[in-house]
Amino acid sequence: MTKSKDQDMINRLESAARTGGITKREFIRYSVLAGLTASTATGLWSTKAKAQPKTGGTFRWGLHDGNTSDSHDPGTYLTRQMIFMAHTHRSFLTMIMGDGSLGPDLADSWEASADASEWTFKLTENASFHSGKKLTADDVIASLNHHRGDASTSAAKALLAGVTDIKKDGDYTVVVSLSGGNADFPWLMTDYHLCICPAKDDGTIDWESGDGTGPYKIDSGEFGVQFNLSRHDGWHREGAYFDKVEVIVLNDPNARQTALMTGDVDAVSLIELKTMGLLQRNPNIKIHNIPSAGAITMPMHCNAAPFDNVDVRNALKLAMNRDEIIEKIAFGAATKGNDFHHSPAQPYWPDGIPQREYDPDQAKSLLKKAGAEGLTINLSTADSVYAGAVDMAVLYAEQAKAAGININVVREPNDGYYSDVWLKKPFCLVSWGARPTPDVMYTLAYKDDAAWNESFWQNEQFNKLLLQAKAELDDAKRADMYREMAILAKDDGGTIIPFFNNFVYANSTKVGTPDQLAASWENDGARAASRWWFES
Amino acid sequence: MVPKKDVLLEIKDLRIEGYSDEKWVEIVHGVDLTLHKGEVLGLIGESGAGKSTIGLASMGFARDGCRISGGSIEFDGMELTTTPESALRALRGSRIAYVAQSAAASFNPSHKIIDQHTEAPIQYRIQKRVEAQEDAMQLYERLRLPNPDEIGFRYPHQVSGGQLQRAMTAMAMACRPDLIIFDEPTTALDVTTQIEVLAAIRDIVDQFNTAAIYITHDLAVVAQMADTIKVLLKGEEVEEAPTAQMLDSPKEDYTKSLWAVRSFKRPQKQRPTGADAIPIISVQGIDAAYGKTKVLDDVSFDIYPGMTVAVVGESGSGKSTTARCITGLLPPTKGQILFNGEALPPRYQDRSKEQLRQAQMIYQMADTALNPKIRICDIIGRPAQFYSGLHGTALKSRVDELLDLIELDPAKFYNRYPPELSGGQKQRVGIARALAADPKFIICDEVTSALDQLVAEGILKLLDRLQQEFNLAYMFITHDLATVRSIADEVVVMQRGKVVEQGPKDEMFTPPHHPYTDLLLSSVPEMDPNWLTTLLDERGTDAIGEAANV
Amino acid sequence: MGDILQLVLKRLGLGLVTLLVVSILIFFAVELLPGDIAQAVLGQGATPETVAALRDKLGLDQPAIFRYFQWLGGALTGDFGVSLVSGVSVGDAIGERFVNTLFLATYAAVIAVPISIILGVIVALLRNTLFDRVANVATLTSISSPEFFLGYILILYLAVKTQYFPAIASISPDMTFGELLHRTFLPALTLVLVVTAHMMRMTRAAIINLLASPYIEMARLKGVPPWKIIVKHALPNAWAPIINVVALNLAYLITGVVLVEVVFVYPGIGQLLVDAVAKRDFPIVQACCLIFAATFILLNLAADVGAILTNPRLRHPK
Amino acid sequence: MSTFVIAYYALLIGGSCLAAYFKKRELFLLIFSLTLVSFVMGIIGGVGALRFVTIAAGILALAAGTSYAFREFLIIIAPEGVAKELRTAPLTAAFGMFVIFTYAIAGIFAPVIAPFGEAEVISSAFAPADENMLLGADQLGRDMFSRIIYGARNSVGLALIATTLAFVMGAFAGLLAATKGGWFDQFMGRFADVIMSVPSLIFALLMLSIFGTNLAVIVVVVAVIYSPRVFRLTRAVAGNVVVMDYIEAAKLRGEGTWYLIRKEILPNSTAPLIAEFGLEFCFVFLLIAGLSFLGLGIQPPTADWGSMVRENATLISFGELTPLIPAAAIALLTVAVNFVVDWMLFRSSGLKEV
């Protein structure tokens, strides 16, 4: 870890301490990790920190995405209900903090070998499962192995594809060997699939029981409907102020919002942007608008006409009025995209790359150059991609008319969109969840041989830089490489990125929240249950 | 005769309008009527004469789509045309009662007979339920219903038509009204049952000295029932006179023509003899069944070319089923049918076009026999087109010719639809449709029973003329012995699916008869006002009970 | 009565054939759905190898016909299999939700059926009056409004503005019956609005149809007051069509309430079915569809039996 | 007391007196009961309530007047036979015809009537109504009024085609089954049972997922879903017709099935089918709207009332009336269609009540 990064960490810790985001004990522990002595850390701990949040109450939490066929198997986690549950009744090795930094969860600390190909995690000795069993390295190894191996059917299999071996070094140390260097590996451990379940004697995990080391334990529940949880007294971190938590699936936007307005729930994970302004008038409701690393992308298949011509691709990029789209579709709750998939909410964000603006005339001339004047193409989308995805496509089609491009908006069924449209139709709308680092994102969807290279974009230089950056532990060098990659993606890539959407969620004013909310998921990185509290 | 001093009902210049074609049209044009206590007035006339409308108006009631537009109706000092509905309602059922034509349709199928009987007395608080039920049972006994203590507790469909009609008469008597309107109470019944009901009605009206208006189109029936007869035609009175006088010396031409209806008679033909004389239709020992219910049992008879064979019997005797077997709609389970000596395939689907053409059928209900949405020219033209392949002008001239044959003006009727025609005209179109196929044999299924007598006579004459012109053979299904008498050459009497007796008409109408034929013949009402009394005396009361169960 | 039993048995037999055909239809419809269960379970985040592994595990590599007969064999012995997605047995997955659906349907029916019949009788009695016309327009309007829309309006007025009822109908087994009725009132009311109009119009039509019958005229000529004519003389004979439309609507209350479940977040079987279709979870889809089909068939049968039982001709044979 | 209130009561009481004087019993009862109700409403709701009554009565009177004038207009321009029928139409039916006529005009001449294009974005989202935009803008800033006009063409057109197709398929099968009888009848009956026993929304969901959501597929799927209902009705109606003697006569003549259906049975089965058409039309409309709710409906940016309701439905929770406009358009049309159908049914049933 470099000096500048440590300082950065300390500054963040300070600010978290001032706003009451973390407790004194945690503050000192992180500061020590950052290379300070305990006494210095104690001095830095400001007395301005907020008083301890009040404990008690039942937190009713309305989520926007749940399915009756969900299960506790971490390998099949897909819906928000399960992702949020995983952050509530289970734990991970690391966690993303309110300020966007990487903090400890089950792992107290971690360090890499010089080439970043071997990572050692030191586990906390205080963690226990709801059943009472103490957490050991065996549980961690079994849980990670659940996603590895030929027989594994986990959706996170690809994520751990680079892992060659996982060993324990005593009961509280886990060593992970990688096939190549990966500086981001501890960040990967925050992936929602990689929660830790109790190991069975045969080295597999017991996920069926729903047991975990999270702040709350499951009392009862039904998938796609509701889960009732109560506080796990043996939790190994600070927080978990509520006595009980009810996780309620409210798929219908209207149901969700009215439930919040009528006080049937205390917080919801998503509100409809269309009615955000109207909801804001309600004095009992607080709306959070958090920039995220999630993005709306519009991949064009670079291996298919007419998108195999870079001028056509750029014409389509220029034919979009992003400001109007953000105003009308995202109701302002978004960050303007610049056609490279690297969000300001992620580390190493390259500042100062010129923003691409709406320029139908230039688009026209590019099309002329490509010999594709009066271009007519289909744009596939579905309601489920993003609230307003269809409207956005229609709006874009209207804007593109000025550049002489005819876009037919095709509304595809919600059901099966990602298996039948995405990667199959040459031009479509896609919604990407937040990924912790640019490397994860690029490797997943822009690397030449990635299964999800959604635009089938092949760029030698880009791929070379990607591999170099991955193993580079020097932050400055890494940042430079990411800047170069961003420019390549912007000017040659096959993906239009209209905007990075914000997480827009709301809660009752009865609920207290930290000043800084994690941007990895809605509701404070899906950890509202353990980080929030009831006021008074 | 009843002393005529107390006037019960006095109608003056009654005018009633009906709503049709979006305007009010007068259908009763100023009828006067006076009825004294205990008197029975017979209202007679063809359909459309306004009999029922006047009958209902004397209750202060007009059917939906009708309204009383003028005149006065005074019932026992009360002017019904100005009485509010609620007061009128209080009158109905209690002081004026009504007996409808079809008891089967007029009893609510959902309630027991006795509950419907006691509804009015209980509602008017004349009797408590138990009393009313006892009274009902007494009335049932008096009307000679079998098992009077029990019959009321049945549902209407569990009781036969004749018994229901008597039960309805009993119901009308429930509050001992001053006046009962009988609206064709026996028209829907078989002749043998009719006697029963007539006797019961006359009996009870006499016993309680109730005044009555007896509406019918059957002269012979009204002759038995009424003290006075009023003849109506198209909403106007033709004449009124005491029964005997009316029968002996009707004044008006129209009345005379009504009286003369039954005079039509044509000479009887004999079967052709000789070796080459083969019947056009030969029914040979057929059995038939609906599902598991056997309805025909070994029926055999022959029909020779140019002859009319009347098949008579009461409802349920198997007359129409025999016709269905002949046409092939119901394949017989046993036996066969020969056409011109050749066996016909039992199912009509298997018959050739030529076989189908040769045998045609005319139906009882002209309303349902003609497609209301097809023009007359197409109805008649279709068989000609279908069998003979006529087109264009040839077809048109054939249709014109057929219309001429049935005495309908082609210029007027060519493009009309059936609902625009009168009953008789429809029946003529039905005949023309059969003729259009140029057949050798026609089944006439009760072709006149739905028609007024004058119209019916016209149809019979037409059929006779056509028979002579085209040498047609008729199978004439009927329950009306008067029709048989006038048109048949041979008669087949059927009862419960069996042929009881058959032979030439003269023989059949000359004693000795088979007992059933005898019962049938003797039950046909005659114009003599004393016929019913005489007949009942002859048969004795026991016989009536028996007949009722036939 | 023996005839009725025979009819019931015959119809049940036919019903089983219908169910079999439905099961074939559903199976192949689910087969034909683009994408497959492995993809759907693993979501956007799955690689081809993972998908293949899951397909293997679930036995999807076997031919469709074989899998269908495998399922059918199980179903015939009462084993409807396990959810391919969550591994829970179909009975466990559906059981409680079906009870919930039945509860909501019963709740709505208990309100809607009497109201619609009584209203139908009243409008038949007051036919062609202002009240009749207003009722006519009102019912037509409620028929022609999308049900999710009705739901939203009810939420606005009865939950958001007045707070009389909760906006979401989440229920749990430990609630008292009164609490349960209170919480599920809005979805029930929405359903009531949706089905009442149809039943009421049918009741009115059935009664008015009978008013031209001779026995109604007879009753009028006996001096029976109008309301009694409708209630005592017309209604008992109008049951057959009324029962028929009631059965149709009851079937709808059970099978057609997906949207209401979504709007009020009610854990019923409809939502389960939509989710299962999305996941290509064939055993659940199949079981739900068969339950729906069986409901439909049984209610139809009940309607026919009801029509027979209310028909005195058939109830009291000669 | 404002002048409005005085004028209000003066008008009502004057009207009552006039009605009483001219012995218009019904009119008197109506006006006088309104007077009495107004007293109560006036006390409880104040002038506002009275104004509401006035406006409601005004709208009603306007609708009645329009209907009356429209009926007279039709009578004058229609040929003799039709004009005779039209005279029997009650005001409700005339109103229905007027609405249908208006919708038809709006649909056919949509591009001429609508001030803006169907997908044209002209202002900011949810802009309020001004002199350019009669009803304001929708969520993308498209003119609401123009979209409603285009919606008449798309929604009504689609529902009409789907319903018609359902009727063609269902009626044909029903007539064939009634005529043929036997195993074919049984088979078709069971087949209809199978389709009907799968909930329509699920059926549509499956079919549209399999075959895609283009217009043709929507039309066919909706038609398949609704044809069993038409089949059953036709089967029942035709069942009553096939027992008629004229059918027997035609069969005995040796006529083929197709002739029987076309010439003999169909013309006598149309009345109840037309009546059913009205209700089915509503249901089809709703099903398509429901499909939109699940994201399977008409393709954007095509304006469709069902989708327009759905897109803005959540606004209703905040008391915004925007979603009510297309919903009202749907409701008005279905009510209108059913008014006309009621009248036709009444004409064909022969049930005359005056």
Q: Which residues of C touch D335 (CB under 8 A)?
A: 137, 140-141, 144
How many Cβ atoms from other residues are within 10 Å of residue A284's Cβ?
10
pLDDT value for A47: 44
Q: For D227-247, how does the pLDDT look when each residue is reduced to its tens digit (9 = 90+)?
A: 998 898 888 888 888 888 888
- Tell me whether residues A397 and D296 touch, CB distance under 8 A: no
Q: Tell me which residue of D149, D156, D142, D138 sits closest to D322, measured CA to CA.
A: D138
C88-313 topology per CATH: MetI-like fold (1.10.3720)
Q: What is the DSSP letter of D312?
A: H
Half-sphere exposure of B265 (CA within 13 A, CB side): 10
How far, in Å, CA of A257 to CA of B377, rounded? 70
Is the pLDDT reported for residue A428 higher than 90?
A: yes
Residue numbers of C between 92 and 111 with CB closer than 8 Å to D:
none
How far, in Å, CA of D71 to CA of D92, rounded? 10
Kindly report the nearest CA distance between residue C12 and chain B, in angstroms.
Answer: 23
Q: What is the DSSP letter of B188?
A: T
Q: For A207-250, how does the pLDDT look when each residue is reduced to its tens digit (9 = 90+)?
A: 988 899 999 999 988 888 889 999 998 899 888 899 999 999 88
Q: Residue length, chain A?
A: 536
**Among D87, D248, D264, whose Cβ lies nearest the Cβ of B329?**
D248
Q: For B290-342, how does the pLDDT look when each residue is reduced to its tens digit (9 = 90+)?
A: 877 888 888 989 898 888 999 988 877 888 889 889 988 888 888 889 888 88
- Tell me whether residues D213 and A413 touch, CB distance under 8 A: yes
The residue among D142, D206, D304, D318 with the most chain A CBs within 10 A of its CB, best to mutate, is: D318
pLDDT average, residue stretch D16-29 = 79
Bond from prior residue into A306 cis (ω within 30 degrees of 0): yes
Kindly report the nearest CA distance between residue C174 and chain D, in angstroms.
Answer: 30
Average pLDDT, chain B: 84
**Chains B, D in contact, 3 or more Cβ pairs below 8 Å:** yes
Bond from prior residue into B512 cis (ω within 30 degrees of 0): yes
How many cross-chain Cβ pairs, B to C, lie less than 8 Å apart? 76
Least confident stretch, B285-289, D146-150, D320-324: D320-324
pLDDT value for B2: 44
Is the pLDDT reported for residue D198 higher than 50?
A: yes
pLDDT value for B549: 41
How would residue B79 be classed by pLDDT, with cut points 50, 70 and 90? confident
Q: For D152-166, how does the pLDDT look when each residue is reduced to its tens digit (9 = 90+)?
A: 888 888 888 999 999
pLDDT value for D309: 78
- Tell me whether residues B371 and D246 touch, CB distance under 8 A: yes
The whole-angstrom distance between residue A251's C-alpha and the CA centroid of its chain comes to 20
The CATH architecture assigned to D118-349 reads Orthogonal Bundle (1.10)
Kindly report the nearest CA distance between residue C100 and chain B, in angstroms.
Answer: 38
Question: Chain D residue closest to B21 (CA)?
Answer: D84
Contact present, A519 and A345 (Cβ < 8 Å):
yes
How far, in Å, CA of D275 to CA of C202, rounded? 13
pLDDT average, residue stretch D94-116 = 86
B493 residue type, one letter: V
Is the pLDDT reported for residue D114 higher than 90?
A: no
How far, in Å, CA of D334 to CA of C201, rounded? 15
Is the pLDDT reported for residue D144 higher than 50?
A: yes
Question: Chain C residue closest to A70 (CA)?
Answer: C86
Least confident stretch, A115-129, A202-216, D241-255, D276-290: D276-290
How would residue A87 be classed by pLDDT, with cut points 50, 70 and 90? very high
Q: Which residues of C touch A156 (CB under 8 A)?
A: 45
How far, in Å, CA of C167 to CA of A324, rounded? 34
pLDDT value for A115: 86
Is the pLDDT reported for residue A71 higher than 50?
A: yes
Q: For C234-248, how does the pLDDT look when each residue is reduced to its tens digit (9 = 90+)?
A: 888 888 888 888 988
Burial of B172 (0-12, 13-18, 19+ CB in 10 A): buried
pLDDT value for A311: 93
Query: Read out DSSP for D233-259?
Result: HHHHHHHHHHTSHHHHHHHHHT--HHH
- Tell me whether residues B119 and C237 touch, CB distance under 8 A: no
How far, in Å, CA of A394 to CA of A403, rounded? 15
How far, in Å, CA of B419 to CA of B370, rounded? 9
| Cβ-Cβ contacts under 8 Å for C49 (sequence gap 6 or more) | A157
How far, in Å, CA of D181 to CA of D295, rounded? 41
pLDDT value for A484: 93
Q: Which residues of C touch B61 (CB under 8 A)?
A: 220-221
Between strands B40-44 and B211-216, the pairing is: parallel
pLDDT average, residue stretch C186-199 = 89
Give the CA distances from residue D215 to residues A130, A439, D158, D219, in Å, rounded to whole numbers and listed in that order: 54, 43, 8, 6
Please tell me the pTM assigned to this model.
0.79
Which token pair is B234? 């198209």
**Among C264, C272, C278, whose Cβ lies nearest the Cβ of A255?**
C264
pLDDT value for A23: 52
Walk me through the domains of chain B, giving residue ranges and CATH numbers: 281-510 (3.40.50.300)
Give the CA distances from residue A131 to residues A74, A211, A234, A530, in Å, rounded to whole numbers and listed in that order: 19, 7, 10, 19
pLDDT value for C45: 57
pLDDT value for D89: 79
Q: What is the DSSP letter of B158?
A: G
Is the pLDDT reported for residue C193 higher than 50?
A: yes
- Report how far apart the first and last C-alpha atoms of chain B are (Å, whole number): 34
Between strands B359-362 and B342-343, the pairing is: unpaired
How far, in Å, CA of D315 to CA of D309, rounded? 10
Q: Tell me which residue of A29, A25, A48 sits closest to A37, measured CA to CA.
A: A29
Is the pLDDT reported for residue B384 higher than 80?
A: yes
Contact present, A212 and A195 (Cβ < 8 Å):
yes
Give the CA distances from residue D12 to residues B278, D2, D33, in Å, rounded to whole numbers and listed in that order: 89, 16, 10
Q: For B478-514, how does the pLDDT look when each residue is reduced to its tens digit (9 = 90+)?
A: 888 878 888 888 899 988 888 888 888 888 888 777 8
pLDDT average, residue stretch D345-350 = 63
Contact present, B2 and B36 (Cβ < 8 Å):
yes
A275 touches chain D (CB under 8 A): yes
Average pLDDT, chain D: 81
How would residue C46 be classed by pLDDT, with cut points 50, 70 and 90? low
- Tell me whether residues A224 and C167 touch, CB distance under 8 A: no
**Among B351, B356, B368, whose Cβ lies nearest the Cβ of D246?**
B368
pLDDT value for A13: 53
Q: For D26-60, how does the pLDDT look when each residue is reduced to its tens digit (9 = 90+)?
A: 778 778 888 888 888 777 777 777 888 888 888 88
Which token pair is B279? 């019947």
Which token pair is D134? 């009669």
How would residue A368 be classed by pLDDT, with cut points 50, 70 and 90? very high
Bond from prior residue into A354 cis (ω within 30 degrees of 0): no
How would residue B262 be classed by pLDDT, with cut points 50, 70 and 90? low
A105 touches chain D (CB under 8 A): no
**Chains B, C in contact, 3 or more Cβ pairs below 8 Å:** yes
Which token pair is B399? 């249709």
Kindly report the nearest CA distance between residue D309 and chain A, in angstroms.
Answer: 13
pLDDT average, residue stretch A14-22 = 51
Is the pLDDT reported for residue A17 higher than 70?
A: no
- Bridge partners, B236 (sequence order): B233
How would residue A21 be classed by pLDDT, with cut points 50, 70 and 90? very low
Query: Read out DSSP for B499-527?
Result: EEEEEEHHHHTSSS--HHHHHHHHHS--S
Domain ranges of chain C: 88-313
| Cβ-Cβ contacts under 8 Å for C159 (sequence gap 6 or more) | A258, A262, C165, C166, C167, C186
pLDDT value for A531: 92
Please list the residue range(s) of chain D that carry CATH number 1.10.3720.10.
118-349
Average pLDDT, chain A: 85
Kindly report the nearest CA distance between residue A40 and chain C, in angstroms.
Answer: 44
pLDDT value for B4: 46
How far, in Å, CA of B118 to CA of B110, rounded? 15
Name the neighbours of D, counting chains with at least 3 Cβ pairs within 8 A. Answer: A, B, C
Is the pLDDT reported for residue A527 higher than 90?
A: yes
- Tell me whether residues C297 and D193 touch, CB distance under 8 A: yes
Average pLDDT, chain C: 83
For residue D211, what is the enclosing H or E element? helix D200-211
How far, in Å, CA of A284 to CA of A287, rounded? 10
| Cβ-Cβ contacts under 8 Å for B190 (sequence gap 6 or more) | B162, B314, B315, B479
How far, in Å, CA of A440 to CA of A454, rounded? 15
> How large a percentage of chain A has pLDDT more than 90?
44
How would residue D204 be classed by pLDDT, with cut points 50, 70 and 90? confident
Kindly report the nearest CA distance between residue A297 and chain C, in angstroms.
Answer: 14
Burial of C317 (0-12, 13-18, 19+ CB in 10 A): exposed
